[in-house]
Structure 1
Amino acid sequence: MKKYDFIIAGGGMAGLSLAYYLTQSPLRDRSILILDRDQKNRNDRTWCFWENGAGPFESIMFRRWNKVSFHGTTHAGPLDLGSYQYKMLRGIDFYAFVQKELDKFPNIERSQATINRIKDTPQGGFVIANDEPYIADYVFDSTFMLRTNDPDRHNLMQHFKGWVIKTEKPCFDPKQPEIMDFRVEQHGDCRFVYIMPFDTNTALVEFTLFNDKLLTDSEYDADIQQYITTYLNTGAFQIAETEYGVIPMSDTPTEENPSDHIVRIGTSGGHTKASTGYTFQRTQRYLRDIVANLATTGKPNRKSPWFSNRFKLYDSVLLNVLEKNRHPAADVFTRFYAENKPVNAFRFLDEDTRFLDEIRLFTTMPWWPFTAAFFDVLRRKFVG
């Protein structure tokens, strides 16, 4: 049984990002094994996010925008991003870039394998993949499935389907994406479309929902088709690519460090923001912290100030508002972006605000639905 310094279980966004950051650190010479059942050789997803300044994957960004558009209940038009940019990264570009970087390091091995088991032992983290045993000082696991059926927690999903369409008529503004358009039937949920333009005749049009029930393929397709027919003057169009995904929006606690030699990363480690489903940027931030701690202390345990736990409470309150339909989601997000500077909204979602900033933001929300949600969250957490 071969032993490694690190095993990365799961070679998706989180696993490959971790491997990349390790190569950029003093740990670049450590023996690393990456296990994943897929080859990561197709464009299976797209990440869109805001960022202040240049990030570690700046050279492979597919698009960057200095302003975005929003269409809600009382506001329709551009939002001023200030020093932020809204960015788009295609999965295939990310996979190819990281894999090319990893190829420079002979101490990094990759194996296409199905992971059968991960457990902690006194000797290290133990992994069985394709019935072969492996062991490492630390196993970084992005395959752990979250428990999303706790009745005392909130368990919604962000699920989406998107089409990359090529249109007969020029109908997109390449300089301005639409990050949220709520002009779709809500059906008591949170439903919106976003549009990421590549050029005047090409864009990703994605239909997104926050709720607890998935749709059928034909239902997603029907809503995308209806939006295009109603709001986009495309003329004839062709579907060049499709993508689909489901991201948990759950406040069920997840242990990033469940044992001495196992560290959970990505969604498995709680890196997805429960109230929005945003994962990419938070995962990058947390992984950099893990690698920095590992390089300086020999242990990967990421520490955060106690008071930062208040953001988990905020997440639970918003999830409660959405789950209980206490107020139309379209109006909640309209108030959030239209009555606050987008820069402050982004900082809040990145959990970089001060408490006084957060109080100011809360005053723009409908007070009774959020107050009721706050007390219901406390009841669930402490009474059950």
Structure 2
Amino acid sequence: MWQRVRVTTVDVDLALVGGGGAGSLVLAALDRWGVRGLRVAVIDPVRRRGQDRTWAFWGRPDDGLDPLLAASWSQVEVAVPGRRRVLDLAPLRYAMLRSAPVYDQAATAEQRLGAVRVAAPAEAVEDDGSRVTIHAGGSTLRASWVLDSRPRPPRRAGRTNWLQHFRGWWLEADRPLFDPGRAVLMDFRTPQPVRGVSFGYVLPVTDRYALVEYTEFTSGLLTDAGYDAALAGYRDRLGLDPGRLRVREVENGVIPMTDGPFDPRPSPRVVRLGTGGGATRPSTGFTFAAMHRQAGQIAEALAAGRAPVPAPAYPRRHRWLDAVALRALDRGGVGGPDFFDRLFDRNPAERVLRFLDGTTSPAEEVALMSTTRPTPMVAATLGDAAARLRDRLVPWRRPAPGRVPPPVTGAPRSSHPAE
């Protein structure tokens, strides 16, 4: 059984610093892989419960998450002005997962693992190369390995720094208004910012209940009134009568979109997970699938007696592609609606989704990039190369260390926002 402790010193094999989405997925994976005999500690001032966020992601139906899902769809829509495209995702599916079952599953796993829980923030994490010492709430823990999922800044600020920010309404209708067989993945028929991208989406759970959300990729945030006005405008564009709708819940979130490098291994025995470890895709905000993938890799390694160090969340070449795409969008060479519309129009949907998830091959990526507009992408590539060369030749002009990204709240999603 897990136990709340107030002791001077505890020795463990594995300490999870942070018990949110990334930590919860690791606990569940350890239980799923049958890892036993491992001394585990969870260090977090808050025990996560209930529906504090919603993840949406794509994957295969046999990925082990099916019993937890709120809904899933084999078809989605991508819309731009004048055209709505229906995409068949086979063999993938788009799925929605609310946080309560994830936290419940993690709590059960925590009990089975006999984990120690310290209900305090980690005040210091000190790695001497052979053990890690953690000071938290008057307790001292010594761990062989630490998995740290707290928000962290990039090692240096990016050359392009945007935010993905959003607000969603969980809408309940008094009669059937939604199509539960199809989600709206990206609807670009929203007023576009002067510098940035906006879109709406709809994730229906039933024909009377759905999450309707408005998202922007820009350098700054809106006011509360601005988000509500944008959501109301998108609701009206969908033809939804506000008199027949009730807002059951409101979700908000902010995700960093930057080509600044995050450090997944800041010291020999500390591994960072989630956004702080680079699990957020810089050009899209995708995170959940990478967190889930890395949690499985960690559990598999521990079950085999290996170090709990997952593979990088995304290949290095994807980081470079993200930097180029962000630069092209930021400098105005590429419009967001046109960029995504061309990708989905000229490639199989399954290939685009795997690319956005970081699991395509180099040959597939060449095929995908060949469908974008060449002139602005070449200009962005040359601009990125020039900036990298300048930073090498004139080190003092490199971007300063990055700031801690804004807190991630609301509805993080692998397809848009995430932890």
TM-score by length of 1: 0.93
CA distance in 2 between counterparts of 1:176 and 1:42 reads 26
What SS class does the counterpart of residue 55 from structure 2 fall into? strand
What SS class does the counterpart of residue 2 from structure 1 fall into? strand
Question: Are 1:78 and 2:86 counterparts?
Answer: yes
Other-structure match for 1:140 = 147
Q: CA separation of 1:330/1:30 partners in 2, compared to 1, >3 Å: closer, same or farther?
A: same
CA distance in 2 between counterparts of 1:227 and 1:216 reads 17
CA distance in 2 between counterparts of 1:375 and 1:12 reads 39
CA distance in 1 between counterparts of 2:371 and 2:71 reads 32
Q: Deviations over 1:250-281 (max 9, x none)?
A: 22122212212211111111111111110000
Other-structure match for 1:310 = 317
**Which of 179, 187, 198 in structure 2 is aligned with 1:181?**
187
Gaps of 5+ in 1: none
Which segment drifts farther, 210-219 or 291-300?
Answer: 291-300
Other-structure match for 1:53 = 61
Q: CA separation of 1:28/1:319 partners in 2, compared to 1, >3 Å: closer, same or farther?
A: farther
**Matching of residues 270-309 of structure 1 within 5 Å:** 270-296=278-304, 298-303=306-311, 308-309=315-316
CA distance in 1 between counterparts of 2:129 and 2:209 reads 54
Which AA in structure 2 matches 1:184?
T
CA shift at 1:115, angstroms? 2.2
Other-structure match for 1:23 = 31
CA distance in 2 between counterparts of 1:175 and 1:67 reads 7
CA shift at 1:367, angstroms? 0.9
Question: Are 1:66 and 2:79 counterparts?
Answer: no
Which AA in structure 2 matches 1:135?
R
CA shift at 1:296, angstroms? 3.2
CA distance in 2 between counterparts of 1:74 and 1:334 reads 12
Which AA in structure 1 matches 2:76?
V
Q: Deviations over 1:102-138 (max 9, x none)?
A: 3233x21223222222221255112222242222001
CA distance in 2 between counterparts of 1:131 and 1:378 reads 49
Question: Are 1:88 and 2:96 counterparts?
Answer: yes
CA distance in 2 between counterparts of 1:12 and 1:325 reads 36
Gaps of 5+ in 2: 1-8, 392-419
CA distance in 1 between counterparts of 2:69 and 2:249 reads 18
Q: Which has the higher contact order (CA 8 A, sep 6+)?
A: 2
Question: Are 1:378 and 2:385 counterparts?
Answer: yes
What SS class does the counterpart of residue 322 from structure 2 fall into? helix
TM-score by length of 2: 0.86
Q: CA separation of 1:24/1:231 partners in 2, compared to 1, >3 Å: closer, same or farther?
A: closer
Q: How many residue pairs were aligned?
A: 381
CA shift at 1:324, angstroms? 1.5
Which AA in structure 1 matches 2:247?
I
CA distance in 2 between counterparts of 1:75 and 1:326 reads 22
Question: Are 1:154 and 2:176 counterparts?
Answer: no
What SS class does the counterpart of residue 166 from structure 1 fall into? strand
Q: CA separation of 1:253/1:297 partners in 2, compared to 1, >3 Å: closer, same or farther?
A: farther
**Which of 256, 265, 270 in structure 1 is aligned with 2:264?**
256
Q: Deviations over 1:124-154 (max 9, x none)?
A: 112222242222001110114123872x522
CA distance in 1 between counterparts of 2:191 and 2:78 reads 17
CA distance in 1 between counterparts of 2:269 and 2:167 reads 37
Other-structure match for 2:374 = 367
How well do the aligned residues superpose, as a CA RMSD in angstroms? 2.0
**Which of 350, 359, 365 in structure 2 is aligned with 1:358?**
365
Which segment drifts farther, 36-45 or 83-92?
Answer: 36-45
CA shift at 1:77, angstroms? 2.9
Q: Deviations over 1:330-366 (max 9, x none)?
A: 1111111122110111122233322222222112111
